[in-house]
A and B are shown apart, each in its own frame.
Chain A
Amino acid sequence: MTWMQIVFIVTAAVTLGSAVRVVSSGKMLHAALWLVAALFGVAILFAMLEAGFFAVVQVLVYIGAIAILVIFAVMLTRHVMEDTGPQVIQSWWLAAILAAMVFAGLVVLIISAGFKAQLPPIQDSQTMIVALGQALVMPDGYLLPFEVASVMLLAALVGSIYIAYQKR
């Protein structure tokens, strides 16, 4: 049990624990802050997968922007009655069984697949970032998804402003 595996188990436990708290906590803002803890755990997992760029982007985009957007939305829809009522639908146990079955099915699939355990060598992540930058722009690389992503972001921006903007 090398120290790397210990760090992995601790991070996985923290991530899954805070994910459970996100799903089961009553007050909405506590759920949002547990979501931030879960996202931070996922960022540590990315760092352990030697994709440092994505660990930083995860903290920047998810924790810096999406979590704060969720907290703003929670604040905008403050409704005192909301916090006292039961947060979960009556047949929540059905959803719990379904989720457990999905998890069991996936675990069986993963274990039976028998992935080879050795770790291929990796060049340092600087070349990964440069390769990623070039791949996003090369016509034979991923140029089309790059431009379509910008059109999609524009549509998301214009659409949500149109919906959320309230002329005083």
Chain B
Amino acid sequence: MIPLSWYLIVAAGLFSIGLFGVLARKNAIAIFMGIELMLNAVMINLLAFWRYHNPGQITGPVFVVIVFAAAAGEIAVGLAIVISAYRRNATVVADEINELKG
């Protein structure tokens, strides 16, 4: 029987690895992968608390479905921005895309 804290520790580990990925990577697409890891950690937490505290209530799974939609929307628009930035000044490195002119 797996105690609830194990799930939360795995989710915290996944979250901090994703955080490191977002902070330390140069390539914009690698930053998006880090964000995906953090979103997965959130989903593990939601479902772990739903399962261990009140499986009768449906709020946990509804939140997870909304997180799926948010993650999909975010990565779709994010990668589109990265691709069009790459097309204009031929670089995907995050800190070289810094001019905001039109």
Contact = CB atoms under 8 A, between A and B. Distances in A.
Within the complex, are A and B direct neighbours (CB within 8 Å)? yes
B52 A119 contact: yes
A139 interface: no
B51 A50 contact: yes
A2 B3 CA distance: 12
A16 B10 contact: yes
Contacts of A94: 23
Contacts of B56: 123
Given A77-B83, A120-B54, A28 B70 contact: no
Interface string B66-102: 1011111111110111111011001111010000000
Interface in B47-72: 47-48, 50-56, 58, 61-62, 64-66, 68-72
A12 B6 contact: yes
A47 B34 CA distance: 23
A147 to B, nearest CB: 12
A51 B57 CA distance: 13
Most buried by A among B52, B71, B79: B79
Contacts of B68: 57, 61
Contacts of B47: 46, 49, 51, 54
B26 A35 contact: no
Given A77-B82, A115-B5, A152-B70, A92 B24 contact: yes
Nearest to A2: B1
Interface string B1-23: 11111111110111111111101
Nearest to A145: B66
A12 B3 CA distance: 14
Given A23-B17, A87-B26, A119-B1, 15 more contacts: A15-B14, A51-B64, A65-B72, A66-B72, A70-B33, A96-B20, A98-B23, A99-B17, A115-B52, A117-B1, A117-B3, A122-B55, A159-B77, A160-B80, A163-B81
